[in-house]
Structure 1
Amino acid sequence: MHHPIKGPFDGRPLIFSLAVAAILLAAANLRGGIVVVGPLVEDIKQGLGLNASVFSMLTTLPLICFGVISAIVPALTRRVTPPILVLGALLVIALGAGLRVVPVLFVILCGTLALGCGIALLNVLIPGLVKGYFPRQTGIMTGLYSVTLSFGAGLGTYLAIPMRDAFADWRAPMLLWALLPLICLLPWLYLLRVHVHTYQPKRTGVPLWKNPLAWAITGYMGLQSTCFYSLATWLPLMLFDAGLDDHYAGTLTSLINLFAIPANLLTPIVAARMRDQRLLVLAIAALAITSLTGLLLAPALAPLLWVGLIGISGGAALSLVLTLFALRSENTTQAMSLSAMAQSVGYLIAATGPFVIGALYDLNKSWLIPLLLLLLLQLAQGALGVVAGRPGTLTSWGEGKT
């Protein structure tokens, strides 16, 4: 759906640039603080005396927060302006990441909950802000947002082992993610002074929970997140078990996010120009299935290739579903409500991923069954994507016009 309407910053290049920077700096905090634990899995498990199932809570708890908090964001935006909510979210992320360096499991879990709550707020707010602030540039802004999100995740994974070694402490890379949000606050403080009227706090006009298109997008969101967080948590150990050293396994896992960047940027631009996105869905599914099959059959044979395919398919899937929030909705309120539903239910689905994969591995110390499960989920994700990729909007589907 094309947007001929003017954006609130059109004709104001300085404020426009500041708003772009504000969105991207907020997005840089959305993954790093969570995925940083992946390469540090052995250090944290030994340091705190955890097994794989308990360790997976460090990834699972934020996802549960994403699911619970996402559902209440639309109601919050009717009472508090989005820039103030973004500021609050960044402060909560800093607090949560700071608590995770205290070497007491209970405090770390409290910090993990706070981190998850802050990120959940931004997860829902940013797609709505992109549609409201940049109605003419939805594709490119979604692409840049996705790139920054992946870059932050890649930085979190890549710096984990070098920072641990430099400071001889696994908590050092964790602390980085408490400091970054405080720097990213600055442009939002200025945006508070800029009057922007973008929100229409009206009803969406469509009962989303009864809408098959909304459910297809929600399912696609949930399954792509399940695969991403499962692999972000366990891929370093998978590669380590295949005979790679921990530095190389950690570096390869961080490359997922590097490979995701071109897919993040190009997918929304391509998707926004297509009326029907089903071909894109099938191409993404084919790459993901190839990568997981490679990890299953010959993980040490071409690990860079498997990681590259995981990155490209995962980056494209995330960018596609974020773009669908805008393409399948008819106004900002509808986009934010769809974003809230898809992320609420989707992340509750995803929250089971790292835990189930860890538990299956604990049972027989093999990656065979976990990888077969991830392959099955990719097939289900592709099927839901075929439904979500069909032309139409929430309103037209709600009227029975498919």
Structure 2
Amino acid sequence: MESARTRGGALLLMVAVVVVALNQRPAVVGVAPVLGALRADTGLSSALAGLLTSLPVLCFGAFAPVAPRVARRVGLETAVAASLVLLVAGTALRLLSPVAVLYAGTVVAGGAIAVANVLVPAYVKREFARPGLPMGLYSAALNVGAALAAGLTVPVGAALGLDWRGALAVWGALAVLGLAVWLPVAGTGRDDRGAPAAPGGSWGLLRHATARQATIYLGLQSIQFYGLSAWLPTLLADEGLPVEAGGALLAVATVAGAVGAFVAPTLAGALQQRHRGQRSLVAAVVAGYLVGLAGLLLAPTTGTVVWVVLFGVAQGGGFALGLTLVVLRSATPLTAARLGGVAQCLGYLFAALGPVVLGALHDLTGGWSWSLGLLLALLVPLAWSGWGAARDVVLPEPSRA
């Protein structure tokens, strides 16, 4: 626990967590700025191109329940390190020409990220007695990594003379850096101080309304993020803005998201210390989404930066709050890993529909009004589920099946 570490040791561990978090979004978000070049090169439809951004999210869901079982076998530290190795491999596969291999590399990278998605918050729960600040740094780093991918994928590729495949593969270097930082700090030894056991009773958590609401909230929140992130540059280009401007505005949204991602868990932890729920934070997230999405729908080229910043703060704060609620509603790291696996499995599988459905609606209607209208309508169940998950309760440890 935090008390057993020196102040310097705890700081180094936070740095390691942040560097790992930086790697958990570029493989997904980096595709959006190159979708135009990708479609021109491969001839993929909007729906199939959107699948490249939703496929990792499917992997986040499919592999999430496996993560606690892997960690039980090899330890949390080693499981996270292995996820970085697989991320490098998946990123490298994208260099190969066949379209099928492009999708295969995306699956490998998505599976790798899924492991870290579940286990890093559980690791934070285990190592820090007050997880609010570490979760804030972790969540902010997720958004910073996404911002780097959104804003730098095209410029870096152009500067290095790379096509869209090479531009995506560059992010493998960040994963190598993450591995180099993680191994010396976290180690590779199996640690029995609460490492997640096989999730025999994980699905039993869904008997509790709070667990169901946390799962629904995470899924609906992720639809907002992955759906609009996949198509925002294209949406703005269709409204007359340059493609480069669309990628830059996506980067602005993710940078703004980093602010929300840091603030929301930090405030959530402070509220938890005072035995208060996090409903006020849920209300703020929904309000930010409402204004940002409505602005993009009604006046996409007027005040665009304002709408994008509001959406970014909402998505960063909302997603980070969802991860933090999993940690705060759990009594132990084991429960956090189990609830995280279940919530991310169902939530991400649901969220993976976002880019595909939004792309299909665009193909059917020839515009983006219906897609944005759908995202606005989904704010109603998002608010309901978040309101329930933000209650000041703690889930019991599930019994083994």
TM-score above 0.5, yes or no: yes
Correspondence for 1:247: 244
Cα deviation, residue 16, structure 1: 2.5
Establish whether residue 371 from structure 1 lines up as the match of residue 364 from structure 2.
Answer: no
Establish whether residue 259 from structure 1 lines up as the match of residue 256 from structure 2.
Answer: yes
Establish whether residue 66 from structure 1 lines up as the match of residue 60 from structure 2.
Answer: yes
> SS of 1:135's equivalent?
coil
The residue type paired with residue 111 of structure 1 is G
Correspondence for 2:6: 12
Establish whether residue 22 from structure 1 lines up as the match of residue 47 from structure 2.
Answer: no
Instruction: Give the alignment's Cα RMSD to 1 decimal.
Output: 2.0
> SS of 2:171's equivalent?
helix
Higher mean Cα deviation, 111-120 or 280-289?
280-289
> SS of 1:78's equivalent?
helix
The separation in 2 between residues aligned to 1:107 and 1:288, in whole angstroms, is 36
Which of 187, 194, 199 is residue 194 of structure 2 equivalent to? 199
* Shift in CA distance, 152/10, structure 1 to aligned 2, threshold 3 Å: same
> SS of 2:24's equivalent?
coil
Correspondence for 2:342: 341
Correspondence for 1:4: none
Cα deviation, residue 396, structure 1: 11
* Shift in CA distance, 180/396, structure 1 to aligned 2, threshold 3 Å: closer
- State the Cα deviation string for residues 229-286 of structure 1 (Å, max 9, x = none): 0111000011001110011111001111111122111111111122121121111101
Which of 220, 229, 235 is residue 238 of structure 1 equivalent to? 235
The separation in 2 between residues aligned to 1:343 and 1:141, in whole angstroms, is 20
Correspondence for 2:213: 216
> SS of 2:33's equivalent?
coil
* Shift in CA distance, 325/42, structure 1 to aligned 2, threshold 3 Å: same
Cα deviation, residue 139, structure 1: 0.3
Cα deviation, residue 17, structure 1: 2.9
> SS of 1:102's equivalent?
coil
> SS of 2:280's equivalent?
helix
Correspondence for 1:153: 146
Where structure 1 has 5 or more consecutive residues not aligned to the other structure, the ranges are 1-6
Correspondence for 1:283: 284
The separation in 1 between residues aligned to 2:5 and 2:292, in whole angstroms, is 45
Where structure 2 has 5 or more consecutive residues not aligned to the other structure, the ranges are none
The separation in 2 between residues aligned to 1:200 and 1:30, in whole angstroms, is 21
The residue type paired with residue 165 of structure 1 is A
* Shift in CA distance, 201/57, structure 1 to aligned 2, threshold 3 Å: closer
* Shift in CA distance, 115/206, structure 1 to aligned 2, threshold 3 Å: closer
The separation in 1 between residues aligned to 2:221 and 2:327, in whole angstroms, is 18
The residue type paired with residue 199 of structure 1 is G
The separation in 2 between residues aligned to 1:396 and 1:189, in whole angstroms, is 30
Correspondence for 2:76: 82
Cα deviation, residue 114, structure 1: 0.3
* Identical counterparts, % of pairs: 35
